[in-house]
């Protein structure tokens, strides 16, 4: 019998735990003799009764398990904690708010049975998102897609991964992870299934615009050296402009016209300083990331395990 592990990050999802569990039961109701499941909730430092709700479910159904963080470490950390603690032949990662319809698990499972090792959930339609959000995610995914070399538009964290992939991801040493791109990066035999993003059942999204921008910047840095190359290109452009200005000044000097000194100087200084500061800023962000990795702090701290 196949065992499917479900990895579910939860942050203040008390109202969704039970509906989610019931939806999962519904999905596995008809498959009970060929598949079994393990429901691994990762409590990401919830401040509400999420953990108590999970414990109550565990009391009546020991397939419900939980890794509970000592504080909020973010969804990425929660996904990876799940990946490192499941035992199934394959694992499906999905949100607790039922925006990733659990019914799609069966479709993913069938693909896995056909021999695919990464089954990716693709959103057919993004849920209700603001225009800004849409434009922003478009630019972001174009950048990432290019650096990973794969089309990542409309990709999501809703995925099924074979045990082999889970093992590879579990062994990664980096802390600033970007799950969506890393599961691509691993390779293996891939396919996709489509699903429609549902409305969030209970509660509100945990992503503020600020958090989203931070997430995007972090992940671009994680997966792309483009910003560093941009620095080089900007530097080259400045050198080129400086060269033209210098030649112009020399020609002016020898043809007897007085070079227009002060504005030229000011222009050069401003351009130069601007360029240097932008460059340092970008390099600084990379150094911060390196510092983060070198410190070697864990990505998360587990306060309690329920299994």
Bridging pattern class, strands 118-123 and 190-195: parallel
What is the rounded end-to-end Cα distance, in angstroms, of the chain?
20
Contact 4, 90 (CB under 8 A): yes
Nearer to Mg ion by Cβ, of 123 and 175: the residue is 123
Instruction: State the nearest-atom distance from the C-beta of 5 to ligand UDP, in Å.
Output: 16
Q: Work out what residue 193 binds among Mg ion, ligand UDP, none; the CB cut-off runs from 5 to 8 Å by kind.
A: none
Q: How far is CA 174 from CA 113, 138, 180, 217, in A?
A: 31, 26, 14, 17
Question: 12: left (phi > 0), else alpha (psi -120 to 50), else beta?
Answer: left
Report DSSP state, residue 117: S
- Binders of ligand UDP in range 190-249 (CB under 6 A): 200, 205-207
- Binders of Mg ion in range 163-202 (CB under 5 A): none
Of 73-81, 114-122, 147-155, 280-288, the window that binds ligand UDP (rule: CB under 6 A) is 73-81
Residue of 44, 97, 157, 162 interacting with Mg ion (CB under 5 A): 97
Residue of 96, 108, 193, 306 interacting with ligand UDP (CB under 6 A): 96
Q: How far is CA 173 from CA 152, 183, 219, 293, in A?
A: 23, 14, 16, 9
Residue of 14, 97, 117, 162 interacting with ligand UDP (CB under 6 A): 97
Instruction: State the nearest-atom distance from the C-beta of 276 to ligand UDP, in Å.
Output: 36
User: 23 by DSSP, 3-state: which?
Assistant: helix
Distance CA 145, CA 7 (A): 25
24 binds ligand UDP (CB under 6 A): no
Nearer to ligand UDP by Cβ, of 125 and 260: the residue is 125
Of 95-103, 181-189, 249-257, 299-307, the window that binds Mg ion (rule: CB under 5 A) is 95-103
Helix locations, the chain, DSSP H: 14-28, 50-60, 75-85, 104-113, 131-148, 163-170, 179-185, 209-223, 226-254, 261-295
Q: Work out what residue 13 binds among Mg ion, ligand UDP, none; the CB cut-off runs from 5 to 8 Å by kind.
A: ligand UDP
Residue of 6, 27, 78, 90 interacting with ligand UDP (CB under 6 A): 78
Residues near ligand UDP (CB under 6 A):
9-11, 13, 44, 72, 74-75, 78, 95-97, 99, 200, 205-207
Residues near Mg ion (CB under 5 A):
97, 99
């Amino acid at each position: 019998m196949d065992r499917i592990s479900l990895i579910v990050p939860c942050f203040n999802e008390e109202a969704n735990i039970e509906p989610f569990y019931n939806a999962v039961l519904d999905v596995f109701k008809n498959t009970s003799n060929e598949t079994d499941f393990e429901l691994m909730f990762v409590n990401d430092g919830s401040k509400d009764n999420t953990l108590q709700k999970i414990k109550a479910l565990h009391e009546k159904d020991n397939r419900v398990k939980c890794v509970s963080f000592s504080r909020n470490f973010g969804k990425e950390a929660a996904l990876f904690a799940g990946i490192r603690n499941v035992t199934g032949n394959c694992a499906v990662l999905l949100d607790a708010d039922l925006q990733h319809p659990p019914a799609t698990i069966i479709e993913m499972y069938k693909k896995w049975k056909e021999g695919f090792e990464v089954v990716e959930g693709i959103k057919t339609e993004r849920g209700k998102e603001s225009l800004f959000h849409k434009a922003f995610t478009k630019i972001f995914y174009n950048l990432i897609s290019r650096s990973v070399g794969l089309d990542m538009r409309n990709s999501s964290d809703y995925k099924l991964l074979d045990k082999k992939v889970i093992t590879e991801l579990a062994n990664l040493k980096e802390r600033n992870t970007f799950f969506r791109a890393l599961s691509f990066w691993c390779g293996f035999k891939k396919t996709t299934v489509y699903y429609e993003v549902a409305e969030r059942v209970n509660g509100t999204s945990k992503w503020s615009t600020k958090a989203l921008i931070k997430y995007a910047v972090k992940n671009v840095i994680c997966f792309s050296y483009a910003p560093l190359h941009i620095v080089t290109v900007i530097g080259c452009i400045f050198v080129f402009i400086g060269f033209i200005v210098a030649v112009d000044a020399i020609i002016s000097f020898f043809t007897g016209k007085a070079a227009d000194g002060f504005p030229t100087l000011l222009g050069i200084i401003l351009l130069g300083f601007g360029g240097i500061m932008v460059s340092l800023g970008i390099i600084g962000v990379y150094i911060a990331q390196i510092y983060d990795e070198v410190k070697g702090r864990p990505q998360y701290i587990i306060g309690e395990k329920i299994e």
